[in-house]
Chain A
Amino acid sequence: MRPFSYQRASDPDMAVQALGAAATNTPLTKATAQPLAGGTTLIDLMKLDVMRPTAIVDINPLAHAWSAIEPGSDALRLGALAKMSDVAAHAEVQRSYPVIADSLKLAASAQLRNMATLGGNVMQRTRCNYFRDVSYENCNKRNPGSGCAAMDGVNRMHAVLGTSDQCIATYPGDFAQALIALDATVEITGKAGTRSMPFAQLHKAPGSTPDIETALQPGDLISAFSISGRWPRSVYLKARDRQSYEFALSSAAIALDVQDGTIRDARVALGGVATVPWRAREAEALLKGHRFDEALAQRVADAAFADARGRRHNSFKIALGKRVVARALQQAVTMEI
């Protein structure tokens, strides 16, 4: 850890100013000023010397405006500073958006969920061990152009979808899979005021620039997420090494609209297996307009992983991921609502 200045944001403008003052051409992850929410990712990475901001802008004082949980009649708005635990425990979220409540409830530990915010959660960074250990020179995400130590290293936890020859790091979060499945919109407060974009456009696949992880620029803050429609028939299934306090080896966020046994609308998102929050659209297409059976579930699962590419230790995630998708679909179809 290195010395840094600490400021508390008095209002959104001040926070945006303080964060955006520094050079704008640097990728967000390298910006000299970083926002602090729960701190459960940021402080860890600073202790590990992976992130070296010289200025910290504490955005928690904005909570009075940015932490509301607002279910509407046919929509949901979540403030970016809402705590994971509060959203997971919210009765209306549980009733109308079980995939959101469960993705949060099954993440991290109770202590972390009490500290961590939704905004910080979607912005959490990969758990790739080579990324988090600065004694490794070769990490394209940390040191662009230096190579990738994980590619032929210990890569059991790494991604099989959305990888590039530059980076195979898994996007580790759970909540983002629920957001991307439900076509959420993310509201961003930045230098030019407030704007919105589809959540699906927030994260960037590594491609040739794994250091650029999101569409945000220095000075941008996530202020809220919103979802239209209600998704009572939705599930989040997470397979992991232990029963709590553990990232997904493979997870599936599924949301269905089933009428008279026919699937009208279907959403399939995958976690633990991809470099970014992952939507399996080809797989969804197979479901729409059909009645559910096991053979269909199998075809959907195969389609979801059609482009998957395993490496030495993580190939198992392809078979595992398919079984998780099939099982989650079955759960969603049979759930009582």
Chain B
Amino acid sequence: MLVLNCPYCGLDKDETELSAGGEAHLKRFGPGSSDEDFEGYLFERTNPKGLHFERWRCAFGCGKWFHAARCTATLEVFGTYKAQTLEPPKVIKDVITTKRPGWSWRNFS
């Protein structure tokens, strides 16, 4: 059972209390953008084997969306953080750096 800590209500939540929301930090493209950008935003996914940043929702708890940094190969959780940010905060990046030195994900490292 995957357990994530909701950064809003501060509680550890089993995955059965959460719903997964897919890749995090996508830049939204709408009407007027190029076909390429729109396709990238809607469909293209990083889908990495290893470190991943995702959106999750505290569905049966406080109801808020938050972010998680997680490894898809080992299921290790590096940390969770609030959704009101365009990139992972430094504390999360530091945790990842100690566990996965030299990591990179999309444009972040």
Q: A and B: partners?
A: no
